[in-house]
Amino acid sequence: MSALQPLNTLLEQTTVARDAALGVHRNALNAVAAAQAQATQLAEYRQEYAQRFGTQFQRAGAIELLQCYQGFMVRLDEAVSQQQRLLAQAVERGDTAKAALLNAELRVASVRKLIERRIAEAVRTQDRSDQKATDELASRAAWLRLAGTAPGATLGAV
């Protein structure tokens, strides 16, 4: 079955490529999880900070302190927005990695199916060859029996 050697090599290559795509996909999923955790943490901190210090400024207070609070809230909002953009990018990379993984898995499955078909074809060809040889042998045996039972036939006459 040396005819299958190139296909086996191709299967090995596609399996390696699929495994690499799987690693990329796992890394992308980890990046999404990390970005999501960071976004959640920032949003929770922003909300907690707003609750903690927002009520303090409902009372009379120093204007400088209020400006500092508002400036920090603006920076927190920017950080939350930036993290949301990073999360969206991580999700997009995850989707791209998933599509690449599915394509790699499809290629591995296709090569395996091709190998199965080639093996089945070789088995059918061998079966036909064996059947032809058996039929030919049976035909010769029948001719020999007929020649051996014919009146006046000799073994050398065949």
Q: Quickly count: other Cβ atoms within 10 Å of residue 28's Cβ.
A: 21
Does the pTM surpass 0.75? The reply is no
Task: Count structural domains, the chain.
Answer: 1
Q: What's the confidence (pLDDT) of residue 158?
A: 46
Report the pLDDT value the prediction gives residue 57, as an integer from 0 to 100.
64
Q: What's the residue count for the chain?
A: 158
Cα–Cα distance for residue pair 66/72, rounded to 1 Å: 10
Flag whether 17 is in a domain.
yes
Q: Is residue 139 part of a domain?
A: yes
Using the structure block, give the residue that is written with the tokens 């990390």.
Answer: 34
Tell whether 153 is covered by a domain: no
Structural domain span for residue 63: 2-146
Buried b (16+ CB within 10 A) or exposed e, 56-91: eeeeeeeeeeeeebeeeeeebeebbeebeeebeebb
Question: Domain for residue 156, yes or no?
Answer: no
Is residue 129 domain-resident?
Answer: yes
**pLDDT values of the chain reduced to their tens digit, one per residue, 158 residues:** 478 999 999 999 999 999 999 999 999 999 999 999 999 999 999 999 888 877 776 666 678 888 888 899 999 999 999 999 999 999 999 999 999 999 999 999 999 999 999 999 999 999 999 999 999 999 999 998 888 875 555 555 54
Predicted pLDDT of residue 51: 86
CATH code at position 102 = 1.10.287.1700
